[in-house]
Chain A
Amino acid sequence: MSDSLIPRLKQIIITTLNLEGMTPEEIDENAPLIGSGLALDSIDALELVVKLEKEFGIKISSSEESRAALASITSLASFIRERADPSKLSA
């Protein structure tokens, strides 16, 4: 389960944010998602959060949670594993 979540998150990010020409392998799972790294802006973050909440049945409800969750893909995966319905993790 844990092995497949990170590639799945990378694919969600690429699809949701229309990162055309980018492959999952090109995304560093330890790089910051916002600002540097993938350099997502606030609208990207909003769109991503909406998609993740729907996909995994989770709720990111404050900026503190978002800072922790969106620090990197690795931390996002940990956040989701802690809160998501297990059936949604295996989708």
Chain B
Amino acid sequence: MSNLPPPPAFKARGKSRAARIAQLIPMVVLLPTIITTGLYIFVFVGWNIYLSVSTSTLLPVYDYAGFDAYERLWRNPRWTTGVWNLAFFGVLYIVLSTVVGVFLAILMDQKVKAENLLRSIFLYPIAISFVVTGTTWQWILNPSTGLEAFVRNLGWDEFTFTLITNRETAMYAVVIAAVWHASGFVMVMVLAALRGVDHDMVKAGQIDGAGMMKIYRRIILPSIWPVMISVLIILLQFAIKTFDLVLALTHGGPGISTTFPAMFVYDRLFAAGQLSQGAAAAVWMLIGLVIVFLPVMALAWVVRRQRGGAA
């Protein structure tokens, strides 16, 4: 936010009528966005909150029924399992995508030949939709159609690969598919940031005899922190919206072992015709979002301030 104040010279000139009108132009330009996103965010979320305390089932009913739907939610195993799964998946997904992405970016930063080709290869999964990602990985991971059948056809009859059919491990299948989808994107973001790192600092480090690992840890990683926060926001956004991927990959199963909150919300709102319950679940998701999001925003703010101060 430190970059926001306008050039002081302009302020001094803002006396004439024309200048004052000119000053309004950015406001006018932003107005449509403010109105539409205001409608989109506050009115839609507000509508949801209203529904969640109403008696709506099949269709919206605008009355008041209290917070019963909020409480009852936590007795529903599909919801509680979903929340736990999201936390588990979210952490693994964000950490692994970041680790793999950063690792790839570091490798790619070694003046690699055919960089364009390799980068395109690592990046393409993000262009593939979640539905296709899920379906394809389901083909590969399913024992009777995928890897297991393939290896057995090659002659290893005892080969078993039941990651996706075992309720204890199915979540890792979701993580693999999701990390596959996102880590190239993380790589590109980090790679871009690495290219922006001050080369003199790196050289100075090398002259001091620091090893590559040390240089990465001490000089480079700290200076790509702002990018890491953007990465975090984008991954977090993906994690919370996890829906199509799981539906195509595991159908939420085996059992309900890979069910997610967004699936529950959709299920309640549409399949089950429980609008108030679905809306309550959605509100819980938003609350969770705020809880997770606030520290991230705070961190972003701190980082930005530090950079601003340093610059």
- A, B in one complex: no
